[in-house]
Amino acid sequence: MNALAVAPAMEPEITSAAESQVVSTADIAALAYHLWQDRGCPMGSPEKDWFRAEELLTAHVPEAGQ
């Protein structure tokens, strides 16, 4: 019996252009960390840097329906 006939296809996952432009939480976290450092590493309000990073990264990502 041929092994290829039994094994499922191992093709790479294909994503649309819109799906490939989704911002990951890792990207947001990395930018938020840099923003925090730029502000002098203040204590408290980590959400300020997170939301700013999210805003900056998603500003140029088109909506899924566009």
Q: What is the pLDDT of residue 27?
A: 95
Torsion sign over Cα 57, 58, 61, 64? positive
**Which amino acid is it at 65?**
G
Q: What is the pLDDT of residue 63?
A: 58
In angstroms, the CA 15 to CA 24 distance is: 15
In angstroms, the CA 49 to CA 10 distance is: 40
Q: What is the pTM of this model?
A: 0.60
Residue 31's contacts (CB-CB under 8 Å, 6 or more residues apart) are: 53, 56, 57
Q: What is the pLDDT of residue 60?
A: 73
Q: What is the pLDDT of residue 22?
A: 82
Question: Any idea where the domains of the chain sit in the sequence?
Answer: 23-57
What's the average pLDDT block by block, 10 residues per block, for the chain (66 residues)?
48 47 90 96 93 92 56
